[in-house]
């Protein structure tokens, strides 16, 4: 488990496992999976889309500046309401 937690997101994308993660500010666990096929397997088990993040989506999210403190909550709410996925991260324009 320690090896898995020390992996970069790019290395995780090559791994053969999924992580179920609990964060203090979100009421349900989140799943981090290497590929879309892994996400689809969870969806077939009844895990809703907003709880599943692919390695690619995590890379997109982490490629930009860090979100505001409540930014991740807003992203998760948007994913839930629109059944969306992360496709780009853009810096905020002033």
Q: What is the pTM of this model?
A: 0.73
Tokens encoding 40: 């689809």
Look at residue 34 and tell me whether its pLDDT is greater than 80: yes
Boundaries of every domain in the chain: 2-82
As a whole number of angstroms, the distance between CA 75 and CA 32 comes to 15
- Give the helix, strand, coil percentages of the chain, each rounded to 5: 45, 10, 45
pLDDT band at 33 (very low <50, low <70, confident <90, very high): very high
Q: Is 80 helix (H, G, I), strand (E, B) or coil?
A: helix
Q: What is the pLDDT of residues 36-93, one digit of tens each?
A: 899 999 989 999 888 898 888 888 887 777 777 677 777 777 777 776 666 655 555 5
Q: What is the pLDDT of residues 5-31, one digit of tens each?
A: 677 778 877 878 888 889 887 888 889
Can you read off the two tokens belonging to residue 56?
Answer: 């690619």
Q: Bigger pLDDT: 60 or 1? A: 60
């Amino acid at each position: 488990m320690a090896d898995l937690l020390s992996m970069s997101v790019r290395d995780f994308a090559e791994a053969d496992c999924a992580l179920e993660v609990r964060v203090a500010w979100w009421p349900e666990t989140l799943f981090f999976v290497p590929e879309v096929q892994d996400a689809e397997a969870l969806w077939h088990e009844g895990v809703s889309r907003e709880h599943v993040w692919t390695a690619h989506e995590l890379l997109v999210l982490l490629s930009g500046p860090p979100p505001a403190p409540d930014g991740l909550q807003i992203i998760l709410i948007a994913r839930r309401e629109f059944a969306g996925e992360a496709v780009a991260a853009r810096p905020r324009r002033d």
